[in-house]
């Protein structure tokens, strides 16, 4: 039941740094997961592979996330075919798992991401570091507010968790989960499927932000939303009320009873250490039993702006990455790179609670989903992976914007106008003279007046004419003027119609003569249209040593040898064919008179045939043979070639068609490219079998030829 063209390979699911010298990698290995240590210098396995069934899923399509923290491996997935989803910590620390009974902590969970937050840094209460996991699971809350069957979740475990002593042995004692809400509140429209998540760290752990891509459960409806959550709101939800189950888990409601002390699900802090609780195995059984039965929190995690940053119809986003960029005004802006399911990359900037799309770039000729997006500030590049490969792209394309307005309208924090060009500000230390407006995208270009070339068009009265105008921005609208006045109305009755390609003048009239100008209007600013932006430069090729490897060089040599061998075979066949045709042509040359015999009072002649199909020469081209020049495509008699002798005996009689005598004439001449007639007879005494002299018979033939229809090609049988 497995697809051997897509699934039965070693799909890499985990590749992270293990220590200063080695990486750790896990792959599906055709549904037999294996893991191995990779030497960073040689990028080869430093030891034999080990069994990965507890660290890697069997299937390449199963949701999975993994982290390596201080040489400890944390993974979350459905590890076996019939097992339940699980969150595990593997060796060398004590192995921990989630609980299945009496309350299942995870219900058909599909994991999309995880992150470590160092909450112990500068913590006033001696808090522990935490691992946050993001997934979508089947909902357990059967309430009016939860109308869908699946919801997005965030779960949390403590890095220093060691499990319980008697209760929750080898189980997490700090597991808690809460719902992530991404919805259009005015329509009560929820996006419940979490597709991707990006964790943006901050100087202070409580200012950490989570960006998520959310979609719909219905696969036949394409729509996406991007929501942003703060760690402080997640922490607030985990400090709120718990949910409890009733009727064997079919109904959930908020727990209203007494909460044990210390609070269930919390990490080991200074307050617990003061009570001689230094590790989780020292927690009371009452607390651990409460954790076992109450993994779900009642409070939902709302987005920071209480609504999505971006909502797009007919677009399915799959992956995202976020970067903090400092603009000319000194403010830090969040720049998002969003990959789609059909191979596009959208660049957006967060301004005043919403995302402004800066550009949309098609990455692949064939539609294919973007599977990962990774940013590198050192390389100033964004890396995008898909089923067909990996692309390296620059973070910005400032040189594409040709005018000040185009550069400012883009609202790209990476780009600014320096007076002559749109430049990348990252490499500039002095930014005082740069023009940039991220907040409004309209200020700074008031003194910019680009040169506009005028074009003359002559049109006959009653004709239709199209005045083209291409806009550089998809967000701009075109505005047309005639002699400086705005054109009012673009209906059929007005004689004008506008479209994406320009202004159409219908049934031109004399009063429509004038100077027309096209302007791009965006952000309440009217600017002269400068046309489409320049195409982005090709992405730089990634440095690789595979191209010069021995295997690739061997393949290159084999390819060249194969091509040269094929050329040699073709040339050999052509030469053999030409040689065969030449031999055939030599056999086709024959003489009607022997060298030792000559007809009385006649010169020796040789009749040669020249074939237009099998002689190796093009039709009509000259061919040299024994010093003679022969014209191709017809028969030719060449006199004076034989050696004369004193033998005056007549040659033996020969039978010829068409009633001609055995004695041949001295010369033939072509008539109008059609056929041949007799020109000269060496012996005037000879007469034709009909009793006429040669002269009379020749005159009759010539007279008859005048009234004969000329054929398109000569007929060799007429000789």
The two most distant CA atoms of the chain are separated, in Å, by 149
Q: Is residue 672 part of a domain?
A: yes
654 and 512 share one domain: no
CA 575 to chain centre: 47
Give strand pairing partners of 68.
73
Write out residues in the chain with pLDDT < 70, as ranges: 1, 142-148, 247-250, 489-493, 524, 530-553, 584-695, 697-698, 701-719
Cα end-to-end span (Å), the chain: 79
The pLDDT of residue 570 is 87
* Tokens representing residue 134 in the block: 């993001």
Write out pLDDT tens, residues 135-192.
999 987 765 445 568 999 999 999 999 999 999 999 999 999 999 999 998 888 899 9
Where among 519, 539, 559 does a domain terminate? Answer: 539
216 and 163 share one domain: yes
136 and 246 share one domain: yes
Residues 6+ away with beta carbon under 8 Å from 506: 464, 492, 495, 496, 497
551 and 620 share one domain: no
Whole-prediction pTM value?
0.69
Distance in angstroms (rounded) separating the CA atoms of residues 229 and 180: 9
Strands 150-158 and 628-631: unpaired
236 and 120 share one domain: yes
Give strand pairing partners of 12.
27
Q: Angle at Cα 223 formed by Cα 219 and Cα 226, nearest 5°?
A: 125
The pLDDT of residue 99 is 85
Burial zone of 635 (CB within 10 Å; 0-12 exposed, 13-18 middle, 19+ buried): middle
Q: Is residue 46 part of a domain?
A: no
Neighbours of 338 (CB within 10 A): 28
Q: Is residue 411 part of a domain?
A: yes
CATH of the domain at 438: 2.60.40.10
Q: Is residue 490 part of a domain?
A: yes
136 and 285 share one domain: yes
Distance in angstroms (rounded) separating the CA atoms of residues 452 and 530: 8
DSSP reduced 3-state for 294: coil
Distance in angstroms (rounded) separating the CA atoms of residues 438 and 75: 40
The pLDDT of residue 272 is 92
Number of domains the chain is built from: 4
* Tokens representing residue 138 in the block: 């089947």
Q: Is residue 238 part of a domain?
A: yes
**Edge-to-edge strand ranges of the sheet holding 72-77:** 64-69, 72-77, 86-89
459 and 554 share one domain: no
115 and 249 share one domain: yes
Give strand pairing partners of 228.
211
Distance in angstroms (rounded) separating the CA atoms of residues 116 and 118: 6
678 and 619 share one domain: yes
CB 347 within 8 A of CB 395: no
CB 225 within 8 A of CB 211: no
DSSP reduced 3-state for 669: strand
Where among 248, 272, 306 does a domain terminate? Answer: 306
Distance in angstroms (rounded) separating the CA atoms of residues 356 and 473: 13
Distance in angstroms (rounded) separating the CA atoms of residues 635 and 227: 89
CB 574 within 8 A of CB 568: no
Q: Using alpha carbons, select from 619, 639, 615, 642 the residue that is nearest to residue 631.
A: 619
Residue with tokens 């799909």: 11
The pLDDT of residue 530 is 58
528 and 601 share one domain: no
Q: Is residue 345 part of a domain?
A: no
593 and 569 share one domain: no
Q: Is residue 45 part of a domain?
A: no
Instruction: Kindly provide the b/e burial profile for residues 200-235, where b requires at least 16 CB atoms within 10 angstroms of the residue's own CB.
Output: beeeebeebbbbbbbbbeeeeebbbbbbbbbbebbb
Where among 277, 306, 335 does a domain terminate? Answer: 306
Could you give the residue ranges of the DSSP H alpha helices within 42-162? none
The pLDDT of residue 674 is 36
The upper half-sphere exposure of residue 25, i.e. CA atoms within 13 Å in the direction of its Cβ, equals 19
411: domain range?
Answer: 396-539
Distance in angstroms (rounded) separating the CA atoms of residues 556 and 697: 75
153 and 302 share one domain: yes
Write out pLDDT tens, residues 233-253.
999 999 999 998 876 556 788
Distance in angstroms (rounded) separating the CA atoms of residues 50 and 4: 24
Q: Is residue 85 part of a domain?
A: no
């Amino acid at each position: 039941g497995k697809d051997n063209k897509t699934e039965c390979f070693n799909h890499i699911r985990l590749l992270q740094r293990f220590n200063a010298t080695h990486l750790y990698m896990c792959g599906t290995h055709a549904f037999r997961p294996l893991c191995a240590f990779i030497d960073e210098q040689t990028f080869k396995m430093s030891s034999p592979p080990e069994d990965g069934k507890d660290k890697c899923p069997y299937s390449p399509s199963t949701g999975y996330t993994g982290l390596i923290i201080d040489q400890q491996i944390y993974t979350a997935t459905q590890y076996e075919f019939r097992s339940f989803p699980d969150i595990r910590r593997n060796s060398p620390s004590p192995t921990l798992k989630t609980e299945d009974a009496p309350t299942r902590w995870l219900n058909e969970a599909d994991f999309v991401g995880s992150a470590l937050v160092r909450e112990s840094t500068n913590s006033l209460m001696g808090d522990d570091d935490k691992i946050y996991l993001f997934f979508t699971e089947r909902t357990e809350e059967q309430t009016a507010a939860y109308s869908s069957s699946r919801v997005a979740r965030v779960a949390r475990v403590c890095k220093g968790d060691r499990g319980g002593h008697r209760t929750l042995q080898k189980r997490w004692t700090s597991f808690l989960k809460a719902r992530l809400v991404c919805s259009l509140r005015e329509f009560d429209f929820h996006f419940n499927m979490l597709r991707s998540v990006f964790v943006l760290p901050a100087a202070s752990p409580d200012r950490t932000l989570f960006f998520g891509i959310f979609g719909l459960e219905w696969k036949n409806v394409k729509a996406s939303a991007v929501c942003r959550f703060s760690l402080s709101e997640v922490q607030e939800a985990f400090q709120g009320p718990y949910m409890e189950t009733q009727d064997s888990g079919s109904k959930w409601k908020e727990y209203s009873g007494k909460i044990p002390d210390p609070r269930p699900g919390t990490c080991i802090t200074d307050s617990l250490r003061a009570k001689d609780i230094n590790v989780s195995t020292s927690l009371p059984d009452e607390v651990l039993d409460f954790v076992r039965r109450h993994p779900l929190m009642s409070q939902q995690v709302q987005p920071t702006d209480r609504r999505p940053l971006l909502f797009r119809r007919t677009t399915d986003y799959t992956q995202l990455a976020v970067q903090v960029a400092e603009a000319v005004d000194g403010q830090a802006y969040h720049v998002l790179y969003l990959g789609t399911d059909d191979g596009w990359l959208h660049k957006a900037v967060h301004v005043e609670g919403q995302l402004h799309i800066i550009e949309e770039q098609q990455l692949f000729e064939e539609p294919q989903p973007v599977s990962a997006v990774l940013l590198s500030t050192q390389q100033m590049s964004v890396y995008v992976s898909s089923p067909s490969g990996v692309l390296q792209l620059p973070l910005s394309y400032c040189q594409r914007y040709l005018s000040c307005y185009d550069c400012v309208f883009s609202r790209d924090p990476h780009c600014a106008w320096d007076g002559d060009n749109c430049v990348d500000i990252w490499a500039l230390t002095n930014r005082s003279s740069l023009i940039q407006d991220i907040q409004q995208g309209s200020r700074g270009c008031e003194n910019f007046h680009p040169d506009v070339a005028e074009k003359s068009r002559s049109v006959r009265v009653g004709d239709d004419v199209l005045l083209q105008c291409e806009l550089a921005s998809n967000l701009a609208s075109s505005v047309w003027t005639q002699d400086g006045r705005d054109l009012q109305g673009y209906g059929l009755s007005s004689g004008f119609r506008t479209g994406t390609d320009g202004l159409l003048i219908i049934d031109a009239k004399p009063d429509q003569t004038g100077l027309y100008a096209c302007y791009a209007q965006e952000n309440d600013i009217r600017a002269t249209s400068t046309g489409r932006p320049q195409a982005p430069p090709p992405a730089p090729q990634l440095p690789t040593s595979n191209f010069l490897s021995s295997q690739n060089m061997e393949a290159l040599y084999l390819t060249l040898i194969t091509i040269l061998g094929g050329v040699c075979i073709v040339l050999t066949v052509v030469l053999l064919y030409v040689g065969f045709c030449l031999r055939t042509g030599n056999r086709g040359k024959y003489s009607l008179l022997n060298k030792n015999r000559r007809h009385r009072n006649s010169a020796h002649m040789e009749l040669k045939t020249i074939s237009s199909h099998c002689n190796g020469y093009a039709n009509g081209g000259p061919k040299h043979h024994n010093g003679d020049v022969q014209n191709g495509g017809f028969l030719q008699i060449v006199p004076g070639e034989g050696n004369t002798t004193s033998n005056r005996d007549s040659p033996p009689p020969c039978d010829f068609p068409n009633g001609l005598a055995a004695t041949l004439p001295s010369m033939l001449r072509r008539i109008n490219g059609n056929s041949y007639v007799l020109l000269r007879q060496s012996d005037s005494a000879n007469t034709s079998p009909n009793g006429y002299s040669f002269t009379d018979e020749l005159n009759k033939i010539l007279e008859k030829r005048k009234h004969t229809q000329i054929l398109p090609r000569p007929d060799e049988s007429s000789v």
